[in-house]
């Protein structure tokens, strides 16, 4: 055979495999409103940048007539490409081939690209669209999942790991996304659960649709399993690209620097926060008044919205923002918001991203449900995460910083590097009403007009303690600043912290309360 013929043979072989599960299966995929695995990768990567490997991999299963079945690429595509010029490793399960089911070789392809990502220290992006374990391959398929989970854990904190759920991801398969840093879901397309509606119906007699059990909205609003929600696959890929532009490609380098611009003038920092600490506002407007170009990329926007987390830039470099949100549940810390903030703080610390914390919270959410849900151990995660974080930590106290909430929100005591407070800050053991009621209980109760006395005592307490100066007098606050000075001072603080080094006691690892 001549070279030409051999090349023709290669073309033919490629063509055959690139058909995936065939026209009928592709038609079905499209009818579900889904792109094919290859279309997805092409939409995500820079043009012409993707290169596929293991195209000709075949399974070796024999039982249940599997030896007669040809599964192109064994139902998964792996390869490398670039996003905005940054190299990434990608796998995408191909639902058109045996429902994207995971067998031994399918898993080996995934672990191959995972090993590659860790070795080359580049982000890993996994597109999940699979019916689950390939039952015919039995324990080999379980072994495959285990090998993936192990690598997810090994890579955690070394390279960014991104999971994209574009179809079903059920049973044990959900644990790979759960172990990764960011999970993207798309409305009506993503489905994640451990046991599906069918099992729940037969075992428990409870009826629920797939969408209501583990659809994109559920995981974005209720469970917190997902980080980014979008209405279409195209929008989802735009979000992934934006995320990739913000994060460093591994834990030894900085994120790509962007040419910085000033915040937009419509975000006037002096006019966002009402003076009355009981009135709400959207703290995201404060972040936008501080960050370069007013560009703030929010994470987990719909879940535990009483705390806001996400990325912005300061002088072109990526910064993690954490802020209490007075607009939702008065900005309290509770089980979910503690979980959300703590994980993000640890992400920033692992990837050397400085953290700016904006504080305005009345404390923890009171409630039997909160106490019984373990708000003690969940709340402790925030303390743990801030305390162990050695990246530059800048704190701005906008208004309320009461009690345990004050300590938890990146206070000086947890080794914040810079603590600034606005003149509107109230740093105290609790709100004036509560404090006055306890301290002056006897005077209030024995007064001829208790309500009048109560009001007077609240006013007294407010004047004396509801300000930043008591804390500033002890050095817990470094500087009381005007809102307009915030960006300037934060930029300076970040510049000064460029070579920050902290020595921690030697240990294998800590034992955070999870």
Q: Which residues bind other proteins (CB under 8 A)?
A: 203-206, 221-222, 272, 274, 277-282, 285, 305-306, 326-332, 336, 362-363, 365-369, 372, 402-403, 430-435, 437
Alpha-helical segments (H) within 156-191: 175-179
E strand or H helix at 165: strand 161-165
Which residue, among 283, 297, 369, 285, has the nearest Cα to 328 in the 3D structure? 283
- For other proteins, the closer of residues 282 and 443 by Cβ is 282
Distances (CA, A) of 356 to 209, 324, 483: 41, 12, 15
- Report in angstroms how near the CB of residue 51 gets to other proteins at its nearest: 38
- For other proteins, the closer of residues 82 and 437 by Cβ is 437
Which residue, among 290, 300, 292, 392, has the nearest Cα to 337 in the 3D structure? 300
Which residue, among 320, 296, 499, has the nearest Cα to 395 in the 3D structure? 320
- Report in angstroms how near the CB of residue 278 gets to other proteins at its nearest: 5
- Report in angstroms how near the CB of residue 180 gets to other proteins at its nearest: 24
CA 415/CA 389 separation, integer angstroms: 9
- For other proteins, the closer of residues 147 and 187 by Cβ is 187
Q: Which two tokens stand for residue 424?
A: 């509107």
- Report in angstroms how near the CB of residue 381 gets to other proteins at its nearest: 18
Which residue, among 121, 390, 354, 355, has the nearest Cα to 250 in the 3D structure? 121
- For other proteins, the closer of residues 206 and 259 by Cβ is 206
- For other proteins, the closer of residues 8 and 222 by Cβ is 222
- For other proteins, the closer of residues 315 and 437 by Cβ is 437
- For other proteins, the closer of residues 34 and 454 by Cβ is 454
403 within 8 A of 417, measured Cβ to Cβ: no
- For other proteins, the closer of residues 238 and 282 by Cβ is 282
CA 328/CA 334 separation, integer angstroms: 12
CA 57/CA 113 separation, integer angstroms: 14
- For other proteins, the closer of residues 115 and 221 by Cβ is 221
325 within 8 A of 357, measured Cβ to Cβ: no
- Report in angstroms how near the CB of residue 327 gets to other proteins at its nearest: 6
- Report in angstroms how near the CB of residue 265 gets to other proteins at its nearest: 16
Residue 290 exposed, middle or buried by CB count within 10 Å (0-12, 13-18, 19+): buried
- Report in angstroms how near the CB of residue 297 gets to other proteins at its nearest: 15
C-alpha torsion 209→210→213→215, nearest 10: -130
- For other proteins, the closer of residues 459 and 488 by Cβ is 459
Within 10 angstroms of residue 3's Cβ, the number of other Cβ atoms is: 7
Side-chain half-sphere CA neighbours of 359 within 13 A = 33
- For other proteins, the closer of residues 30 and 279 by Cβ is 279
- Report in angstroms how near the CB of residue 285 gets to other proteins at its nearest: 7
- Report in angstroms how near the CB of residue 33 gets to other proteins at its nearest: 22
**Termini Cα distance of the chain:** 63
- Report in angstroms how near the CB of residue 93 gets to other proteins at its nearest: 30
- Report in angstroms how near the CB of residue 330 gets to other proteins at its nearest: 4
Residue 322: φ, ψ to 5°: -125, 130
Cα 304–chain centre separation: 12
Which residue, among 98, 93, 175, has the nearest Cα to 128 in the 3D structure? 93
């Amino acid at each position: 055979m001549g070279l030409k013929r051999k090349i023709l043979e290669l073309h033919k072989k490629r063509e055959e495999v690139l058909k995936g599960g065939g026209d009928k299966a592709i038609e079905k995929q499209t009818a579900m409103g889904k792109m094919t695995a290859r279309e997805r990768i092409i939409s995500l990567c820079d043009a012409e940048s993707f290169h596929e490997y293991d195209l000709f991999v075949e399974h070796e299963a024999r039982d249940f007539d599997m030896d007669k079945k040809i599964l192109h690429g064994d139902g998964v595509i792996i390869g490398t490409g670039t996003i905005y010029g940054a190299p990434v490793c990608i796998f995408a399960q191909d639902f058109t081939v045996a429902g994207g089911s995971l067998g031994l070789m399918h898993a080996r392809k995934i672990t191959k690209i995972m090993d590659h990502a860790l070795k080359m220290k580049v982000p890993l992006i996994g597109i999940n669209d699979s019916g689950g374990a390939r039952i015919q391959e039995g324990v080999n398929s379980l072994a495959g999942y285990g090998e993936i989970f192990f690598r997810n854990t090994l890579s955690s904190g070394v390279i960014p790991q991104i999971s994209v759920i574009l179809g079903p991801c059920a049973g044990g398969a959900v644990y790979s996304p759960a172990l990764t840093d960011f999970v993207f879901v798309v409305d009506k397309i993503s489905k994640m659960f451990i046991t599906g509606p069918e099992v729940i119906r037969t075992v428990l007699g409870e009826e629920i649709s797939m969408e209501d059990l583990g659809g994109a909205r559920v995981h974005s609003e209720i469970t917190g399993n997902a980080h980014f929600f979008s209405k279409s696959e195209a929008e989802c890929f735009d979000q992934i690209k934006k995320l990739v532009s913000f994060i460093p490609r591994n834990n030894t380098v900085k994120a790509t620097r962007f040419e910085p611009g000033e915040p937009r003038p419509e975000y006037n920092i002096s006019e966002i926060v009402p003076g009355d600490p009981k009135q709400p506002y959207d703290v995201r407007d404060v972040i936008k008044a501080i960050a370069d170009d007013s560009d703030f990329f929010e994470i987990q926007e719909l879940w535990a919205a009483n705390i806001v987390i996400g990325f912005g830039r300061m002088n072109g470099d990526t910064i993690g923002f954490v802020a209490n949100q007075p607009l939702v549940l008065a900005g309290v810390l509770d089980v979910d918001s503690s979980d959300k903030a703590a994980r993000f703080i640890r992400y920033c610390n692992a990837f050397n991203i400085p953290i700016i914390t904006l504080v305005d919270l009345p404390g923890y959410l009171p409630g039997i449900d909160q106490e019984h849900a373990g708000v003690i151990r969940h709340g402790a995660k925030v303390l743990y995460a801030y305390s162990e974080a050695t990246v530059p930590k800048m704190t701005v106290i906008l208004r309320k910083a009461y009690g345990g909430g004050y300590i938890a929100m990146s206070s000086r005591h947890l080794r914040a590097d810079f603590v600034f407070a606005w003149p509107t800050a109230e740093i105290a053991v609790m709100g004036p009403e509560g404090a006055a009621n306890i301290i002056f209980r006897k005077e209030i109760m024995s007064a001829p007009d208790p309500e009048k006395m109560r009001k007077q005592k609240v006013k007294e307490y407010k004047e004396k303690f509801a300000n930043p100066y008591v804390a500033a007098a002890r050095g817990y606050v470094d500087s009381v600043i005007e809102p307009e000075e915030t960006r300037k001072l934060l930029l300076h603080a970040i510049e000064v912290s460029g070579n920050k080094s902290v020595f921690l006691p030697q240990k294998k690892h800590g034992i955070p309360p999870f």
